[in-house]
Amino acid sequence: MTQAPLWDIFCKVVDNHGDIGVCWRLARQLAAEQPVRVRLWVDDMQALKTLWPAAELMDRQSLAGVDVCRWRAEFDADVRVADVVIEAFACHLPPTYIKSMAIKRDQGQAPQWFNLEYLSAESWVEGYHGLFSPHPHTGLKKAFFFPGFSSKTGGLIREKDLFQARDAFLKDPATADQWLAQQGVHRQSGGLTISLFAYENPAIGSLLHAWQLGDSAINCLVPEGRILTSINAVLATQLKAGDQLQLGALRLIVLPFLHQDDYDRLLWSCDVNFVRGEDSFVRAHWAGKPMVWQIYPQEDDIHLIKLDAWLAQQAQISGPALTAAALTRAWNTHIDCAAEWQQAITDQKRWQQQSLAWTRHLNLFDDLASQLVYFGQKSL
């Protein structure tokens, strides 16, 4: 009996949890939805365990249908090369593995090789996506694959049953309350619920202050992460997972770092989601709720160009006057954003409509995992 094709995904954890977050989701989705076997190579098992607590700190384990292997610096030269190989986020494959890929190619069984790049809404991405790149030393062909927000890119990670799960969760408002209660969260009624997952940001002071003095209750749910450093600095506290703080109209609740599926439920449960980087950012799109994105900061402020590209793409779908454009820019330039927040939330209904329109638009494109499979089939 012919075995299903083997896919290898290589993931080097650099910082935060974006690398492993995206790779783990992709691995799980491929294993669950496609007729393939998936092996995930990761150099930092602790990073995986943080977002998937069932993971053990061991060299090899089977998790959620994925064969998870520790990627050691001294890579075993006898590892059998997969049929499809993905190097994620500009990582470099082990030299011994590349050598084995070349041998397999010489035997007439060249593996399909993808460089899975970072997500960007910039237009130049479309000019790179799908181009083949011959490896300088072996001539093996690698396809550059760019996730993105248009039909000329590789799309976004989106599981087949995601909307079904989301809609079932949202059908009865009590479901979100029950789930939150299980996380130890008891919201103030009649107000807004906001999730806050961000990098350090001095602008948080202006938001906390605005929320504290607001006319309506604000429940701010903070999964443990880098923004907590900024919150604690502003409030002169040492908040950690499990802590709650009431400040005027604001109830600040610190949650533990959430399991990936639970993070989706958090997004669904909230009225506004502050997200960061790539993984939480994409998930917030599918939640269909108003969102404020903090992009990964880069040298020379190049990230602001990428941020504007994303806002511009949304504006093409949702209309030129994006409700949260000013707030998003202020949040990313670390300036006082109380006024921008007030302006956005005063127009909450339109913000919600724009968010839903954007989500519906993105749902028109095939998801990233499917596109990888189709691309591979087309290239054979």
Partner 1 sequence: MKTGQELRAGHVINIDGQPWLIQKAEISRSGRNTAVVKTKLKNLLNGSLTETPYKADDKFEDISLDRKEVTYSYFADPVYVFVDTDYEQYELAADDLGDLLNYIEDGMEDVCEAVFFDGRMISITPPNTVTREIVYSEPSVRGDTSGKVMKRAKLSNGHELQVSDFVNTGDKVVIDTRTGEYKSRAKD
286 vs 123: CA distance, rounded Å: 22
- Which of 298/333 has CB closer to partner 1? 298
Under rule CB under 8 A, residue 137 binds partner 1: yes
Under rule CB under 8 A, residue 44 binds partner 1: no
Interface with partner 1 in residues 271-300 (CB under 8 A): 278, 296, 298-299
Per the annotation, the verdict on 278 as an active-site residue is yes
Record the tokens describing residue 285, joined without a space.
């799109």
Asked if 19 and 89 count as a contact pair (C-beta separation under 8 A), the reply is: yes
Please pick, among 8, 19, 83, 87, the residue that the annotation labels catalytic. 19
The total number of residues shown for the chain amounts to: 380
Please pick, among 117, 264, 278, 367, the residue that the annotation labels catalytic. 278
- Which of 147/214 has CB closer to partner 1? 147
328 vs 340: CA distance, rounded Å: 9
Distance spanning both ends of the chain, measured CA to CA: 21
227 vs 233: CA distance, rounded Å: 10
Q: Which residues contact 130 (CB under 8 A, 6 or more apart)?
A: 143, 144, 145, 375
What's the closest the beta carbon of residue 15 comes to partner 1, in angstroms?
8
Per-residue contact flags (x/-) with partner 1 for residues 106 to 125, judged by CB under 8 A:
---------x-xxxx-x-xx
Backbone φ and ψ for 249, nearest 5 degrees, come out as -80, -10
Under rule CB under 8 A, residue 331 binds partner 1: no
Per the annotation, the verdict on 301 as an active-site residue is no
Under rule CB under 8 A, residue 127 binds partner 1: yes
Stretch that binds partner 1, among 69-77, 137-145, 314-322, 369-377 (CB under 8 A): 137-145
371 vs 363: CA distance, rounded Å: 13
Stretch that binds partner 1, among 29-37, 89-97, 284-292, 312-320 (CB under 8 A): 89-97
Strand 192-196 with 218-223, pairing: parallel
**Where do contacts with partner 1 occur on this chain (CB under 8 A)?**
14-15, 89-90, 92, 115, 117-120, 122, 124-125, 127-128, 131-139, 144, 278, 296, 298-299, 302
Q: Which residues are catalytic?
A: 19, 278
